[in-house]
Structure 1
Amino acid sequence: MEIDFSNIKVIGFDADDTLWVNETYFRDTEEKFAELLDDYETKNKIDQELFKMEMANLDIYGYGIKGFMLSMIESALDLSNDQVSQKTIKEILELGKRMISHPVELLDGVEEVLSKLMGKYRLIVLTKGDLLDQERKLEKSGLSKYFHHVEVLSDKKESNYRNLLEHLDIPVDEFLMIGNSLKSDVLPILNIGAMAVHVPFHTTWAHEMVPEEEVVNNHLKLNNLEDILKYLDN
């Protein structure tokens, strides 16, 4: 696909599942959560109810591990009709704590890409989630040195991007966003007149799924992050 990036001066990178592994740990924890509650419901039912609870709580807790922990506890109480033991609640909290303390696992090629683009473009991180957790992951990743700015957004809608680019004095036609989510990293960016590159991760949270009819073709889709170097002046 022929896309001209010659006007790009600023590149935004999503963090979770673009720079480092994230969704895999949520799915693993969901498996363990279902095992803890298998006396009360089937795994399929537990998965469905947990997702419903996450969606119901999203406006209250936002994105991230802490909100996920609270939704697991609330789901456990509902699914067990308030009969779940204190021991199980404690085990659920431990699942969340293990997620928070998990080592940061960089995706292939991330540091090579950033090192080659640094100095030629202004690089920024635009992610959503819990501020403390995202700051921790960025520090543990060793990638901070590559970025001019880091922004943890409450959400990634058109208004969030538009306001941030205006605040950072970045013209939309000079901005490129790279991320794994069509819903969060591609569609809203294209809708405000900027450019986007989609680098899918092998696992996608159901909330980030996009109906087929919403998928647009005026963006670049890559199999891995390293391929972006073929398209940018580096």
Structure 2
Amino acid sequence: MQTHNTRGIALVGFDADDTLWRSQDYFDDAQARFERIVSAYVDLADVGERLYAVEKRNIAFFGYGVKGMALSMVEAAVEITDARISAQDLHRIVGLAKELLRHPVELLDGVRGAVEAVAENHPVVLITKGDLFHQEQKVRDSGLADLFRRIEIVSEKDASTYARLFEEFDVTPKRFLMVGNSLRSDIAPVLELGGWGVHVPYHTTWAHEAEAELRHGGERMRAIAGISELPQALRELDAIARHAD
């Protein structure tokens, strides 16, 4: 994919979950229901923390997304209850995952207008991680697919993944800007490589995505309160990038 800007930011990437549409709300609800199921067997205040510990160690095996969470919930339920949990309640936990896979795609306020505004002056791509089938379905149902030059669904969003994508996109890091709600996955690795970022915090974030430290390039990032502020933030960073050239 070729980009035509010879100066400044030449390509803008967007995260999907909790940047373009709601996602974590549904996961939070599923976890709360999981905790209620397990709490019928044990009187513990840290059920959520113990679930996260299982999820974190399972990322290397199951990756991200609903199916990985479902397997982790089953494993955690057995561990936390010392295998006393009933088959019926395990079935209820699997049902939570199925509900997650069926939840509607609800765009956040102002998303389509903001993406269209950016796309008027910059080619845009979508970069998301998670379960392939589920992410494909959400992109399809969002009604936004036509706005993006490319849609990439990856297993991880780290510096090595972005470096590979930059080669495929035929763009250097200093010509790329990433928009997303996660400092860990969307912003920090891009800044580390020399790129630019716009952080759009969401009101709730999975604990794993909240574990982030910006050690590089903070001057190449803007934090905005909502997606409607993106075009202005992009103009500011693009001006800085052009001046740096």
> Structure 2 length as normaliser, TM-score?
0.88
Change (3 A) 1:21 1:12: same
Q: Output the amino acid matched with 1:226.
A: S
CA shift in 2, pair 1:213/1:167, >3 Å: closer
Query: Aligned residue for 2:24?
Result: 23
Q: What one-letter code is carried by the residue in structure 1 that aligns with 2:229?
A: D
Aligned: 1:117 with 2:133 = no
Q: 1:214 to 1:171 in 2, by over 3 A?
A: closer
Paired residues of 1:156 and 1:184 also in contact (CA < 8 A): yes
Q: Which residue of the partner structure matches residue 224 of structure 1?
A: 226
Q: Which residue of 2 aligns with 1:3?
A: none
8 Å CA contact 2:184, 2:213 repeated in 1? no
- What residue in structure 2 maps to residue 206 of structure 1? 207
Match in the other structure for 1:55: 56
For residues 194 and 213 of structure 1, do their structure 2 counterparts lie closer, same or farther at Cα, with a shift above 3 Å needed? closer
Query: Is 1:184 aligned with 2:185?
Result: yes
2:197 counterpart residue number: 196
1:106 paired with 2:107, answer yes
Partner of 1:139: helix, strand, or coil?
helix
Aligned length: 228
**CA apart distance, 1:204:** 1.2
The percentage of aligned residue pairs carrying the same residue is 38
Aligned-residue CA RMSD (Å): 1.7
Deviations 1:124-160 (A, max 9, x none): 1111111111100011111101011111111111111
Q: Any residues of structure 2 matched to 1:2-17 within 5 Å, and which?
A: 7-17=8-18
- The amino acid across from 2:226 in the alignment is N
Tell me the amino acid that sits aligned with residue 230 of structure 2: I
CA distance 1:141–1:191, change in 2 (3 Å)? same
Q: Work out whether residues 34 and 43 of structure 1, in 8 Å CA contact, stay in contact via their aligned partners in 2.
A: no
Specify the alignment match of 2:242 in structure 1. none
Residue type at the aligned position of 1:38: S
Contact 2:64 2:129 in 1 (8 A): yes
Q: Secondary structure at the match of 1:140?
A: helix
What code does the residue aligned with 2:68 have? G
Paired position in structure 1 for 2:243: none
CA gap 1:49/1:232 in 2 versus in 1, 3 angstroms = closer
